[in-house]
Amino acid sequence: MHATRLATVVPLHPSPAPRSDAGAAVLSALDDRRTRLANALDALCAQAGELGEAATLIIEALRAGGRVLIAGNGGSAAEAQHFAAELVGRFQRERDAYAAIALTADTAILTAVANDYGYEEVFARQVVAYGQRGDVLVAFSTSGESENLVRAARTAIQRGLAVVAITGRRPNRLAKVADLAIRVPVVETPLAQELHTVVLHVLCDLVESSLAAPG
């Protein structure tokens, strides 16, 4: 009889041994982020009034059968789609769907308009197509200087829409054009984007709590 030999399985890509300094680096990064966020949120509380006004504009538009149009570029395009998803789907409460359109989501429209009219017109053209008097345009931009958003805001105002700009701290063209601006109190793009998510969640909560309230 032949003795059975057990094969030794050697992983193709052995995992590297854990490094003690990696955990320390992660903890340091998280602690730094926590401090920055805490300070920024404290400063954002000074704009509670603007947040309330923005929520009121959205509530009134939806209650009257209007729409919320939402736009942004890059990471702010993701915020636009996130906001629309929370309004059309749900945030925390079971309720009716709210009419919200992310102007960033249809690649056929975006590329057709960009090809025929230029990228500066990709949102303004959709505002003309979808926007009605009494609707609201919400524009996310950490810089507030994106030409396509500035043009969309101007077009929206000309057509009787209310415009809410959610930007970074620095003075910017979008905030000047908008009816209402929420300028989160930071200039660092990643942190501004994190605060934009906080802002949209607060708006969703305020909108839902008002429109879904009984009676």
Domain ranges of the chain: 31-211
* Mean pLDDT of all residues in 198-204: 98
Tens digits of per-residue pLDDT, 3-41? Answer: 555 455 555 555 555 556 888 899 999 999 999 999 999
Contact 125, 112 (CB under 8 A): no
Assign domain 31-211 to its CATH architecture: 3-Layer(aba) Sandwich (3.40)
Note the pLDDT of residue 19.
Answer: 59
Question: Does residue 159 register a pLDDT over 60?
Answer: yes
CA distance 188 to 192: 6
CA distance 38 to 28: 15
Q: Please provide the DSSP assignment of 84-123 as one string.
A: HHHHHS-SSS------EEETTS-HHHHHHHHHHH-GGGTT
